Amino acid sequence: MAPTPLSAQVPVTVLTGYLGAGKTTLLNRILSEQHGKKYAVIVNEFGELGVDNDLVVNADEEVFEMNNGCICCTVRGDLIRIIEGLMKRKDKFDGILVETTGLADPGPVAQTFFTDDDVKARTKLDAIVTVVDAKHFLGQLEQGSEAEEQVAFADVILLNKTDLVSPDELAKVEGKIAAINPYARIHKTEKSQIDLAVILDKGAFDLKRILEFEPDFLTHGHDHDHEEEVKSQSITSDRPVDPERFQKWMGALLQLRGGDIFRSKGILAIDGAPRRYVYQGVHMMMDSDWGSPWKEGEKRSSKLVFIGRNLDGDNLKRGFEDCLKQ
Amino acid sequence: MKIDLANPAWRQTLPPARSIAADAPVAACAFNRDGTTVAFALGDGSVRRLPADITAAAPDAPPPVHGGVVLALVADPVGDGFVSGGDDGRLLRIGADGTATELFNQKGKWIEHLAAHRTTGAIAASVGKTAIVVTKAGEVREFGPHQSTVADLDFSKDGSRIACAHYGGVTVWSLGHITQGQAAPPPRRFAWRGSHVALRWSTDGKFIATGTQENDIHVWRMAQATDMRMQGYPAKVKSLSWTADARFLYTSSQPVFTAWPFSGKGPEGKPPLQFGEEGAGLLSVVAAHPTAEFVAGGYDSGELQLGDIKAKRSVVLKMADGSAITCLAWSPDGFGLAVGNERGDLLVVDLHR
């Protein structure tokens, strides 16, 4: 018997990007092109989308604080409701795309997938895709924190409108993106032209697939431009991790600094454990699990990554040092 | 009434039922006003009507009446049919012969929640952040907008007010001006932080209960505007059901029937009454019997139980089958029970025999 579609988790792609970056163009293409797949699209700027499709749902971004004492624990109430409604359809779809308004913080959207049990049971957050306007990105950075945060949250970046800038300008924008978030995959596009396989079904939040991002962990270990307010910090160590001390440190860190830490992920070599320990978080929310086993004779090392605002790299490194076996 | 859960013989014979596979998730079900027809709101846009008499021939599946999903369904308070709301923004009256008449239409909005009041003949519907009331005469009045999308609504016992659940609490609107031509009095607000996702007004009109995003239950006492909170649920409580005598409030999201006592001084400081067989999974829907001390409970595993609060026991009417029960409805006389699930199985249980 084939598994029922009801029990399968539908992948959800969050699409962010500053106003005019090319999100609507991308959504129009996803809805109108023949790719043999069916997507439900949750949009905020209704009417802008030229496609009349009953799988396009208009949403008011309703950001709700959870009444549980956790200050940065916010969810998108409209998303919980709409996902529940979409699951009542007879016709199933291959994925859901959630477009956020140009000025939205992607935090509450991502946190909804960590917090709400019904949403977690039916869907899984696949990746945060950020569309960046190559021509206006540097200017947008001056105007507020939104453009910077959207890049910081991203798993995949569509560097769009590359035809409107010179190679020098483009290199400058790429450098800036890498300084904020060197772990996102950048795809250069014109008019949001992209093979959808590149942005959909990435499994960026899948703990089982964190290992696939390992090459990035290694290659991006360079020093960053320290002028950035939002940047990433990676920490590595070959000494085994004391799980209790790590839990305590990470718990306190997220409690205290969770508002400023947008994304975090890591692979840990726990003292005496035969398998990797993997985790991944958005602000204060975190998912963790045991990953694949270490191979015989394999060098066991731990790698942590934080992307956030005002990260104190030395402090983070010292904190992690204290979690290691002497 | 022959239902006797204390009788072992009854426990061994499952009641006769009609079962139909509709192949589309069921969002809601209801019996019509006189109890002769049962209807199911389906994920293919159709409202499937079946005779309540399980021996009568079932008509063929009807064509869709809504553009997408039928999200809500209630018995028509004035006619012999039903009223349905859909994600196409339409509120429809489905006549006894199946013909659909549009009562309201707002494209781009979902009509997710409905309530009907038998004596006044009014229908309330959520339309995004606004609630509308369609009077017996067909006039549409708007209430709101509220600070967020209306997550549930219900009429007061006498039909003079509606309560809307939303982020930050509950708003109660008086409908008196509709009939008397007066200016609308300001709404009463009952505040509690967080998002309220389900609402039921007690059958005696004295309490309003909500389920919250934080897996709690919140109850306001109307007369004193005092409130109480019940905690300890492992999941959101999306189904609430008051007994006909308003002595108990049944709540979903527990493995056994859970009823908060509201007679006497109320439930403060008391544990809820819990009884019956521990089911597979958690209760996803509860429905108190319209006249007697029974309760029907559907589980997220597909199990179906019938409980008796007096005998403090329950029987399993249907085993778990992996498809969560999404809706339950009793016939007005309490001898028929309609059940729908995520997979699209339509079940009508006959407790006469």
Res. A1: pLDDT tops 50:
no
Q: Is B209 helix (H, G, I), strand (E, B) or coil?
A: strand
Please name each of the domains of chain B with its CATH number: 8-350 (2.130.10.10)
Return the ∠ at Cα B69 (arms to B67 and B73), rounded to 5°: 110
Chain A residue numbers with beta carbons less than 8 Å from the beta carbon of B21 are none
pLDDT at A71: 64
Identify the pLDDT of residue B313.
93
Task: Please name the helix (run of DSSP H) or strand (run of DSSP E) that holds residue A285, with its range, or none.
Answer: strand A285-293
Confidence band for A3, pLDDT divided at 50, 70 and 90: very low
Question: What are the pLDDT digits (tens) for A104-121?
Answer: 888 899 999 988 999 999
Checking if the pLDDT of B308 tops 90, the result is yes
Whole-number pLDDT of residue A103: 78
Residue % of chain A over a pLDDT of 70: 87
Chosen for mutation from B40, B70, B87, B327 (greatest number of chain A CBs closer than 10 Å) is: B87
Is the pLDDT at B210 greater than 80? The verdict is yes
**Measured between beta carbons, which residues in chain B are less than 8 angstroms from residue A90?**
23-25, 42-44, 69, 344
B228 touches A at CB < 8 Å: no
Mean per-residue pLDDT for B104-126? 96
Residue A159 banded pLDDT, cuts 50, 70, 90: very high
Section A148-173 average pLDDT: 94
In angstroms, rounded to a whole number, what is the distance separating the alpha carbons of residues B284 and B317?
15
* Euclidean distance between CA atoms B239 and B298, whole angstroms: 10
CB-CB: which of A58, A90, A117 is closest to B24? A90
pLDDT grade, residue B153 (50/70/90)? Answer: very high
Residues A275-294 have a mean pLDDT of 90
Q: What is the pLDDT of residues B54-77, one digit of tens each?
A: 999 999 999 999 999 999 999 999
| Distance between CA atoms of residues B300 and B344, nearest Å | 14
How close does chain B come to A93, measured CA to CA in Å?
Answer: 13
Distance of CA B137 to CAs B102, B123, B178, Å?
Answer: 14, 11, 11
Q: Does A61 touch chain B (CB under 8 A)?
A: no
Instruction: Tell me, yes or no, if B195 comes closer than 8 A to chain A by beta carbon.
Output: yes
**Which chain A residues are within 8 Å of B43, Cβ to Cβ?**
88-90
Q: B214–A66: do the CB atoms touch at under 8 Å?
A: yes
- Over 80: is that where the pLDDT of A227 sits? no
In B, minimum Cα distance to A79 occurs at: B149
Q: DSSP assignment of B115-164, as one string?
A: EE-TTT--EEEEETTEEEEE-TT--EEEE---SS---EEEE-TTSSEEEE
A4-13, A290-299, B308-317: least confident range: A4-13
Q: Is B11 on the interface with A (CB under 8 A)?
A: no
Distance CA B249, CA B286 (A): 10
Q: Residue B104: which residues within 8 A CB-CB, separation 6 or more?
A: B90, B91, B111, B125, B127, B132, B134, B140
Q: What does the mean pLDDT of chain B come to?
A: 93
Residues of B in contact with A65 (CB under 8 A): 193-194
- Whole-number pLDDT of residue A48: 61
Cβ neighbours for A197, distance < 8 A, ≥ 6 positions apart: none
Strands A123-133, A10-17: pairing is parallel
pLDDT value at position A52? 59
- B residues 44-63 near A, CB within 8 Å? 44
Residue type at position A214: E
pLDDT tens digits, A36-56: 888 999 987 644 666 656 688
Q: Give the number of beta-carbon pairs within 8 Å between A and B.
A: 77
Name the residue of chain A whose CA is nearest to B324's CA: A6
Pairwise CA distance, residues B338 & A19, whole Å: 49
Cis ω before B267 (30° cut-off from 0): no
The residue among A197 and B251 whose pLDDT is bigger is B251
Q: Which of A90-99, A219-228, B38-47, B259-268 is predicted most confidently?
A: B38-47
Yes or no: say if B49 and B39 are a contact pair by the CB < 8 Å rule.
Answer: yes
Distance CA B160, CA B185 (A): 12
Tell me the domains of chain A and their CATH numbers.
10-198 (3.40.50.300), 207-321 (3.30.1220.10)
